[in-house]
């Protein structure tokens, strides 16, 4: 399989909802279009930032279809398809591929806490059956289990596993993967605060939360870092620092949805058990946006 490396900034899209809890399709399409015109390198709908855990399969497929239809082939669409039931994850993969996704994002199984050999078996079964290239997502803070470097490198030998979204926050582990990865594997930061460090260390980009609100700057940061333009990349990194910190003042995607609402791009609607941003964090998010140069509604 000859799949180009995934490089640059990929937005982990929020899912806009209406006040009645339904999918706000107009806001979704507008957000996707804005992301692409701002220069983002790819989009990742219905992941954890997209509140996929509270969406039906039908809703998730619809969100991916909207993304694909609006993108019109201009950038990759990496659809969230993961779960802790391997059989269901495979069926979800097929549904997302049918909806037009170019790649499939699969998170390590949550709750079940499989041993490393179980993680290997899970991802290999998915990669064998998936009709699109697979991006592995390691996020121990949500899944309660880490994909160790040795395990990931073994998975990278599979021809249908093409990238890793690494959100362990462990630069030592990430560096070990980068050092020994095959040339066919992209390593993408799963933490906005580590984007510069990961690319400087040999990684390829980021799957970003903050790029929902600052897509152009996030893409420019990745481009500059990848070209070795350290001063430019550092300046953007520092400009985004306050907002990056504010964007995780409560569980994602609570702060980023508040930020997008401040920008007039979506309604500040979440599905329970998530709730709107606590009052004490609002000023911090607003200040971070302003420091990044964002014009508020």
What are 223's two structure tokens? 């481009």
**Please, are residues 51 and 271 in contact by the beta-carbon 8 Å criterion?**
yes
Q: Strands 8-12, 205-208: parallel, antiparallel or unpaired by DSSP? A: parallel
What whole-number distance in Å separates Cα of residue 73 and Cα of residue 102?
Answer: 9
What whole-number distance in Å separates Cα of residue 217 and Cα of residue 138?
Answer: 25
Residue 137 among the catalytic residues: yes
What whole-number distance in Å separates Cα of residue 161 and Cα of residue 135?
Answer: 6
User: What value, to the nearest 5°, has the Cα angle with vertex 19 and ends 15 and 25?
Assistant: 40
**Please, are residues 179 and 196 in contact by the beta-carbon 8 Å criterion?**
no
Question: Quick count: other Cβ atoms within 10 Å of Cβ 222?
Answer: 30
Active-site choice (10, 28, 137, 257): 137
**Please, are residues 167 and 139 in contact by the beta-carbon 8 Å criterion?**
yes
Active-site choice (10, 28, 87, 165): 165
Residue 165 among the catalytic residues: yes
Distance, C-alpha 128 to centroid of its chain: 23
What whole-number distance in Å separates Cα of residue 144 and Cα of residue 152?
Answer: 16
Catalytic amino acids?
A: 137, 165
């Amino acid at each position: 399989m000859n799949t180009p490396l995934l490089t640059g900034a990929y937005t982990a899209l929020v899912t806009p909802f209406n006040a009645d809890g339904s999918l706000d399709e107009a806001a979704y399409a507008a957000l996707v279009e804005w992301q692409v015109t701002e220069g983002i390198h790819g989009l990742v709908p219905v992941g954890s930032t997209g509140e996929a855990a509270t969406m039906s399969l039908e809703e998730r497929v619809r969100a991916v279809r909207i993304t694909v239809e609006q993108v019109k082939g201009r950038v990759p669409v990496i659809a969230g398809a993961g779960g802790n039931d391997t059989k269901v994850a495979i069926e979800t993969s097929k549904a997302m591929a049918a909806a037009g996704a170019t790649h499939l994002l699969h998170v390590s199984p949550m709750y079940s806490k499989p041993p490393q050999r179980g993680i290997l078996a899970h991802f290999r079964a998915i990669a064998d059956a998936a009709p699109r290239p697979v991006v592995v997502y390691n996020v121990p803070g949500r899944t309660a289990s880490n994909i160790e470097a040795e395990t990931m490198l073994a998975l990278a030998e599979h021809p249908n596993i093409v990238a890793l979204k690494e959100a362990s926050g462990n630069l030592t582990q990430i560096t070990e993967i980068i050092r020994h990865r095959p040339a066919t594997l992209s390593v993408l930061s799963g933490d906005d605060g580590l984007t510069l460090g990961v690319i400087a260390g040999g990684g390829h980009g980021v799957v970003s939360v903050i790029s929902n609100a600052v897509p152009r700057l996030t893409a420019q940061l990745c481009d500059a870092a990848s070209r070795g333009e350290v001063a430019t990349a550092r300046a953007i990194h520092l400009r985004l620092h306050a907002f990056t910190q504010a964007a995780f003042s409560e569980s994602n995607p609570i702060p980023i949805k508040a930020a997008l609402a401040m920008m007039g791009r979506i309604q500040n609607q979440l599905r329970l058990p998530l709730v709107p941003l606590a009052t004490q964090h609002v000023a911090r998010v607003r200040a971070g946006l302003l420091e990044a140069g964002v014009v508020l509604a």
